[in-house]
Structure 1
Amino acid sequence: MQQEKIKILFPDVTGVHREVEIFLHQKPDCLYGFKTSVDGSSLPDYASVEDGDLFLKPASGKFVDLSSYGGGLLVVGAVYFSKGERHYLDTRLKAEETSKYLFEHGLEALVGYELEFFIMRKIKHYLDSRRQLFYAKPVENTCLTRQGNGKYFTSIHSRVDEILEETTTALTRAGIAPLKIHRENGVFNQYEISFRPYPLLEACDNIILSIKTVREVSKAKRLTAVFMPKPFTDDYGNGLHLHLSLWVGARNILFEDGALSQEGRYFIGGILQHARSLAAFTNPSLNSYKRLAPGFEAPVHIAWGYGNRTAMVRIPRNGESIEARNPDASMNPYLGVPALILAGMDGLRKKIDPGDAVEFNLYEKQGFSNIRRLPLSLKEALEELMSDYEYLKPVFSKSFIEKYVELKMREVVAEITLPSVLEYQLLEHIS
């Protein structure tokens, strides 16, 4: 008989998804009251070795039941000090505080999201001082021969189809409602699941649970789900597009009579104004900036448009939301989503106009004199954050931002000092 268990999930301040399993004698009626100790010294700057005892508790009553796949009950968690107070680096706290900040202004943010990923047979990677290895094996020999041929493709491998169906069923039962699912443009098996909007904090929880559910169900079928922003050379990357709306009661103030309102324009203006520093939270990995390249429907320039998939901010013609297209799944949603909302709120407060909507293909049009571009690297984004963070102050303290930048810069330094296989190929005459 399979033993019941709870997996408490939490992303640390650098964005790495962590988990702790608690084993049970039977399935619980309620998740409240559970807690488990964690070694804070094993988390990045959470605690010292001599005083590392922290606690992890379920932060919500919502769970995804993956017991039949060996995954137990998935629930998001929050980190506490041993004396019971919330840990200042617990990132879910930022989403909670942003929701409270909006509530104090009579507002509520709803967030929908589109989650893109590849389903592969196997992914292997290995790295040490003498050897680098990356190996990807697809589920099947794809009939797609070039990028851009795959969207809405009807041929789906039966094992992949099982994963998609069982994933969406498990999430629906947990109260996380998918809206649609379709094949994406990637040459290998790339898919997108779109989810209906939820209040800000709940949406952030849902993103964490959705990613883990896809991974667990895929693993149970002996396949691998890949959410990396740019896993393969010369192919489409994976985004995590966010659909934002802002409500006063039953009214979405960003739209009026189906059209973008003046408040909506200001909200966009704030996001565009702070886009380069926002990238430190919405695109927080080294790999993120390999995706933000022309030609693959990922944004490069800081612009907005109606239905324009080459712009960073898009207004869909079939709905009343503001779509941010640059985020990816390496984003910690408890940091990235609040940062986007706070940037929009800064635009509302300062009445920042976003300028005219862009109607042309930003990849093909050359020589812009007035359109900025997103950072080219994580280092550049972090430097932008240190010079532009005033808009985050309602929720993010300067000390939190400094700690975040310090930890992420360690990743930058690690990459700078690591020679790659490509460098050996380019320098073959002296290697």
Structure 2
Amino acid sequence: MMVLPRRTLLVSAVLCVSLLVTGCGSGDGGDSGGSPAVVSDADIEAALEAGGSITVWAWEPTLKQVVADFQDRYPKVAVNLVNAGTGNDQYTALQNAVAARSGVPDIAQVEYYALPQFVLSKSLTDLSGYGADQLEATFTPGPWNAVRSGDGVYGLPMDSGPMALFYNKEVFDKHGLTVPTTWDEYVAEAEKLRRADPDAYITNDTGDAGFTTSMIWQAGGRPYSVDGTTVGIDFADPGTQRFTATWQRLIDGKLLAPVTSWSDAWYKGLGDGTIATLVIGAWMPANLESGVQSAHGKWRVAPMPQWDAGGAVTAENGGSSLAIPEQGTNKALAYAFLRYATVAEGAQTRTDRGAFPATTAQLNSPRFLEKEFPYFDGQQVNQVLAESAKQVAPGWSYLPFQVYANSVFGDTVGRAYLGGATTLQDGLLAWQDVSVTYGKEQGFTIR
């Protein structure tokens, strides 16, 4: 599965967050509060029998085959799969359509970090009444927690991104590096690599919001707390400081390649060995296979380094849900497709085509775990990644306006990567200040 960088969000995409904008997500007949509408399995089957058309906005490539298979099975249903943009580009289009009350799709792909923003603006349907609240055991804990808000379920997980260490074994062997099991060891190997080859780096980083929050998550930090419209933001917590103290050593030692992820230079570095590792989500293998073909056979996967020796704690990095906008016009039929794509046959189809599953059935199957990856010299990569999925630390929350917060990350935390302009910790505190100001402007209570 190809996961692309999160681009800067246009202002129009966050207008609906404001609590001062009333009814921004409410569709005709939409639920403005109270219990969600109840739609039975019989209602869903009747919708499939009656047929009709639905529009799905998504950029995830494995859905193309899922749509084809679904239409073969249910010939009365036409699914219009539209790539309305990746990540924030689609969110901008979706928010604009919701605000205009025109052109809203029946289903939309929404990344986990962005879901709370759409939930708060009442732009998404609570799927509890469709039976989604009974699916907890179907999914791994991280993705399942990400689609829930209060007693509601606002999407079904498509995939997940438990983190692991991807490393270039050829580079490690050449320079006598040891695969690190702790972050202190990671820094030590970064220093050793730079001494051995001044042109090589342990990894790249120019400041990425998703990576930073995932690292804080693993370190035990919980900077965000959310209770309805009351939000807490605290980047002075011990977990955050544990991460920043370690990562600042890499910044100060000039041990991070000044290369932006997903750029041409990044792909080149991954191919020629000048970027030796990535700490990233479990969706990465397909990206290496398609984007770094010159390094075929050189890369391996190992557990994510730990903050405490002998630990077994990971975090999520990336992943998406499929959700039904509140203004959707054929919700029973939309849910039938959503369930097929994420729970039923479509879950296996997507796994077979490289998506990392959020479903326990696929994650625990011998077919998945014993798969050998030629790109990784025959390694059974999924065994490492599946173990990581079981170790994701609980209790993480995103802001109800995380999409906006991430869009200003570069203006605050990003400065820490620019030759001593600020420290990483101070950059996070500046990010906190900007987020607090924005939250208050939108009507949130900030504590």
The TM-score, its normalising length taken from structure 2, stands at: 0.27
**Higher RCO structure, 1 or 2 (CA under 8 Å, sep 6+):** 2
More helix as a share of residues: 2
More strand as a share of residues: 1
The TM-score, its normalising length taken from structure 1, stands at: 0.28
